[in-house]
Structure 1
Amino acid sequence: MARIPRTVKIKKDGVEFTSNVDKANFLIHELIRAALMDVAKLLRRRLLQKARKMPGMRRNRRLGKAFQYWVRRRETDLIFGSKHDTWYGADQELGTRNQPARGLIKGTVMENMDDIRRIQGQYLSAIEAENKAIGLIDPDNEGDNDEND
């Protein structure tokens, strides 16, 4: 995690101006990233549960590597999908002429919309309390996937 910007204090003509804008922007950005990381972990866990119930997938050892996520720092967004050359790709999600669409990723997101809103609300409500916000931001988690699935 990057360093939290300091408060800027300016004194002019006996008046002291204090600006916390940089600090607030930093905390908002990091809270959004942390919330996206938790959402991605939840979706990946639920997606793997659904995928394991599919015919022939119960004993597939490479299933855990098929679904991955990335939380991009600069864009502050979440990319969630399947890794290149895995059994579950765009052809199975969207369908082709010879294969019907499964919609596993889209379905999982839509089924868990309430949980996604709850997680996002938990993080974004922490903006009001700086200490709570700093406690929610996990400095050890930089966008890696869960490897213990």
Structure 2
Amino acid sequence: MPFPKSVTKVKKNGVEFTSNVDRAKYTIQELTRAALKDTAKLIRRRILDKARKMRGMGKTKRIPNAFQYWVRRREGDLQIGVKHDTWYGADQELGTNNQPARHIIRDTVYENIDQIRIIQGQYLEAIEDENRARGLIDEEEEIGDEDN
């Protein structure tokens, strides 16, 4: 969705109404999405570090491809997880009868709550400054499984 017109002007009975609602709504949605993307990159990096340090996991190159994030534009949310049918799979995260749960994703998120709040706060703070906000917004859809 492209950046909307800056204002909507309506004249009624000699009075001109100017509305920036569409522009403000767009800016808030895109800043929220950008904040989620940066949060996801941080969490994914920390998950990969933790997974590489675990016994038996550090010797494979498949780890980076197992963990992924999805910043969904329509739903306005973030999902971090394990790709379907990867070597790691949900069995490692949640556990099975033969294997204890490792909770790598859950624990990594809990351990980084303060950093997540800092990232989110930087974006929300930018709402007041339109130029800064536009500089933070990346309008590309993203599925993250790259090492950034």
Q: Name the TM tier (shorter chain).
A: over 0.9
Equivalent-residue separation in structure 2 for 1:17 and 1:85 (angstroms) = 55
Gaps of 5+ in 2: none
Deviations 1:93-127 (A, max 9, x none): 11122211100000000000000000001001111
Tell me if 1:15 matches 2:10: no
Change (3 A) 1:114 1:84: same
Map 1:1-149 onto structure 2 (within 5 A).
2-6=1-5, 7-139=7-139, 141-148=140-147
Greater mean alpha carbon deviation, residues 6-15 or residues 23-32: 6-15
Equivalent-residue separation in structure 2 for 1:17 and 1:133 (angstroms) = 25
Equivalent-residue separation in structure 2 for 1:35 and 1:53 (angstroms) = 28
What is the CA-CA distance between 1:76 and the residue it aligns to? 0.5
Greater mean alpha carbon deviation, residues 103-112 or residues 5-14: 5-14
- Alpha carbon RMSD of aligned pairs, Å? 1.3
Equivalent-residue separation in structure 1 for 2:128 and 2:15 (angstroms) = 26
List 4+ stretches of structure 1 deviating above 3 A: none
Tell me the TM-score normalized by structure 1: 0.93
Change (3 A) 1:146 1:96: closer
Deviations 1:17-74 (A, max 9, x none): 0011111111111011000000000000010000000112222011110000000110
Gaps of 5+ in 1: none
Equivalent-residue separation in structure 2 for 1:82 and 1:146 (angstroms) = 10
Tell me the TM-score normalized by structure 2: 0.94
Greater mean alpha carbon deviation, residues 63-72 or residues 7-16: 7-16
What is the CA-CA distance between 1:146 and the residue it aligns to? 4.7
Number of residues paired by the alignment?
A: 147
